[in-house]
Chain A
Amino acid sequence: MYRYDQFDAQIVRERVAQFRGQVARRLSGDLLEDEFKPLRLQNGVYLQLHAYMLRIAIPYGQLSPRQLRRLAEIARDYDKGYGHFTTRQNIQFNWVALKDIPDVLEKLAEVEMHAIQTSGNCIRNTTTDHYAGAAQDEVLDPRAWCEIIRQWSTFHPEFAFLPRKFKIAVTAAEHDRAAIRVHDVGLHIRKRGDEVGFEVHVGGGQGRTPHIAALVNPFVPEDRILDYLEAIMRVYNRYGRRDNKYKARIKILVSELGEAEYIRQVEEEFAAQRPDEKIDLPAEEIARIHAYFAPPPLAEKSAGSKLLDAAKVADPAFARWTRTNLHPHKTPGYASVTVSLKPLGVAPGDATDAQMEVVADLAEQYGYGDIRVSHAQNLILPHVALDDLPAVYAALDAAGLGAANESRITDMIVCPGLDFCNLANARSIPVALEVQKIFADPAYEEDIGKLHINVSGCINACGHHHVGHIGILGVDRKGEEFYQILLGGRADEKAALGEIVGPGLRADDVPGAIHRVVEYYRAQRTSPAEKFIDTLERLGHQPFQDALYAAD
């Protein structure tokens, strides 16, 4: 993984010292909240419903065991013993005190982490495929390019005060696990022969005005991608709306200009770049960054494992977990393991300090020191030998992390909602947990197959409800929580926005309604191999809507 050089380390240290001074001035009353707010936001500090929330960047979702142990320590010493992994591959602490945050940031700096650009109208954490470097279907490891983009976008003076926040996602696999089409910029790394380039999508996003990104350029050569991103950003910076925050995202600019005109302007900007302002990105520098992400020294193994096969026979729960939580690895004899942070009854994405330490230990012992955070709010051990899976599962299960539900119906993406968030209109965690209960039987859940439920507590859509196969959106009606149901969304390479199917439901009615929809699917699918989303797309929304609103 990327390691800080002396300049990185110095910049982060100085930033901590600077913020320590700002916090002291705030606590003394010398800085007013209106003055302090933009400063704290630039350091990832929000003021939420019950406390300050600190959002820490996990660049492209990669952590070392040392870093994860440090996050566990922070959870234990400065929070309530847990942290919340987010849909942007970051982590949030929900109960940290402002007076402690400079100390927390100092501890983070010691392990090459920070909270810079996790808030504010700047380019945020670049996210990617959580199986990067391990996936069979990638053309190359996208993390190096995420790192290059991170270095380009961090403290970029021209893009520090954009009309609105800006999110970039990168994938290098045909199956999009990074949801690139619902990001401000989505980059798909492709190869044409030996040439590497980027398919560029712009203007995706969720929130109150969801859009699927437009394909702006099918192939930008790798040595020009930063120039191309600058052209995209400049057009946005120049014409993006600053008069209305609800119309300030780049998706609105693309929509209002029209795709053709927007593309024309970007291409014009790109063509007009002077030679002296082009970013020099020589092949040697690209290779230098790639070297940080060299594959781990995986031992040569056979494609199967007798040890694994025997363990599956001996333990049906383990066998189920191997069917649901493993992803094929590009190297024979290995797999990528999803550590589900969606056990029953736990806020999705939450991990305790002890659980983080267990995962860190496992990564060190069995996973070549590599840990990822997925945008679906789980942790990943990308490189685990098949022979080691029984031991890994046993340790995870003992720590309450053995849920066999990756991409299944209880593996929900859920925002913090009104339990924590100042913007939320309704609680999202409790309704998600009630839905989980309906599908608590592992055999039943496995039979249902892959099905994504995403839950948001307000229209800002942090829970990605627009792109859930089933989306749940909490709304407030005169002080009472109601939940609108959406059907048909998806965040993959066939990205689509779900449609609201009818009037909102009371919280108590949501689990039953979801259950009826799922049962309708099970009755109608051509075989267990036909996924929910495929049956839905085959039959259309109406019969599912009818099932949703049918009386019990």
Chain B
Amino acid sequence: MTSVRPKLKPETPKAITGWATATGRSVWLAADGSWTEDARQLAVFIGDEAEARLAASMKQEGVVTDPYFMEVTETGEITGRETLRESMRANPSLAHGGAA
């Protein structure tokens, strides 16, 4: 959905994020394979596992829409070029009126 998404190297820690198809709320893939609206619960992936998880996510069309890699640190903090945008997504209450 974003206009340009950065390409991440295999060794770069990453999370998988998208939008819940039914509600449109931002979601992140958790370690147990579920989708969570709490970005603090996101799982960090690298290498082939990350690719496999993203490929599997893309097959869950009725559940999650447009999943993609989001750059994070090894401990799951949002980082990289899209930090501002992804921080906004992870904290919808920051949006004006988002906490209503």
Interface, chain A (partner B; CB < 8 A)? 26-33, 47-52, 80-82, 94, 96-99, 347, 350, 418-420, 422-423, 426-427, 429-430, 433, 476, 478-481
Q: How far is the CB of A199 from chain B (nearest CB, A)?
A: 37
Interfacial chain B residues near A29, Cβ < 8 Å: 60-63
Of B7-15, B45-53, B88-96, the stretch lying at the interface with chain A is B88-96
Say whether, besides A80-B100, A422-B2, A50 and B26 are in contact (CB < 8 Å).
Answer: yes
B97-A350 in contact (CB<8A): yes
Of B60, B94, B97, the contact of A82 (CB 8 Å cutoff)? B97
Contacts across chains A and B counted by CB atoms under 8 Å: 93
Say whether, besides A52-B24, A350-B97, A476 and B84 are in contact (CB < 8 Å).
Answer: yes
Interfacial chain A residues near B21, Cβ < 8 Å: 26-27, 33, 98
Interfacial chain A residues near B75, Cβ < 8 Å: none
The residue on B at minimum CB distance from A480 is B84
B97-A51 in contact (CB<8A): no
Q: How far is the CB of A100 from chain B (nearest CB, A)?
A: 9
Interfacial chain A residues near B82, Cβ < 8 Å: 479
Q: B81 within 8 Å of A by Cβ?
A: yes
A418-B88 in contact (CB<8A): yes
Interfacial chain B residues near A423, Cβ < 8 Å: 3
Interfacial chain B residues near A32, Cβ < 8 Å: 61
Interfacial chain B residues near A26, Cβ < 8 Å: 21, 61-62
Instruction: List 29 A–B pairs whose Cβ atoms lie within 8 Å, in order of A's numbering.
Output: A26-B21, A26-B62, A27-B21, A28-B62, A29-B61, A29-B62, A29-B63, A47-B1, A49-B85, A49-B88, A50-B92, A50-B95, A80-B98, A94-B97, A98-B21, A98-B22, A98-B23, A98-B24, A99-B23, A347-B97, A418-B84, A418-B85, A418-B88, A419-B95, A426-B84, A430-B96, A478-B81, A480-B84, A481-B84
Q: How far is the CB of A310 from chain B (nearest CB, A)?
A: 39
| Known pairs A33-B21, A51-B25, A98-B23 / 14 extra A-B pairs, C-beta < 8 Å | A26-B61, A29-B63, A33-B65, A33-B66, A50-B98, A51-B19, A80-B100, A82-B97, A96-B24, A347-B96, A350-B96, A418-B84, A419-B95, A422-B1
Interfacial chain B residues near A479, Cβ < 8 Å: 80-84
Interfacial chain B residues near A476, Cβ < 8 Å: 84
The residue on B at minimum CB distance from A418 is B88
Interface size class of B (residues with CB under 8 A): 20 to 34
Interface 1/0 per residue, B16-44 and A, CB below 8 Å = 00010111111000000000000000000
Interface, chain B (partner A; CB < 8 A)? 1-3, 19, 21-26, 60-63, 65-66, 80-85, 88-89, 92, 94-98, 100
The residue on B at minimum CB distance from A423 is B3
A419 to B97 Cα, complex, angstroms: 9
The residue on B at minimum CB distance from A84 is B97
Interfacial chain A residues near B92, Cβ < 8 Å: 50-51
B98-A97 in contact (CB<8A): no
Q: How far is the CB of B50 from chain A (nearest CB, A)?
A: 21
B81-A82 in contact (CB<8A): no
A179 to B7 Cα, complex, angstroms: 41
A99 to B85 Cα, complex, angstroms: 25
Which one of A50, A433, A481 has the highest number of Cβ atoms from chain B below 10 Å of its Cβ? A50
Interfacial chain A residues near B1, Cβ < 8 Å: 47, 422
Interfacial chain B residues near A478, Cβ < 8 Å: 81
B23-A97 in contact (CB<8A): yes
Interfacial chain B residues near A480, Cβ < 8 Å: 84
A426 to B85 Cα, complex, angstroms: 8
A350 to B85 Cα, complex, angstroms: 22
A476 to B21 Cα, complex, angstroms: 29
A423 to B94 Cα, complex, angstroms: 17
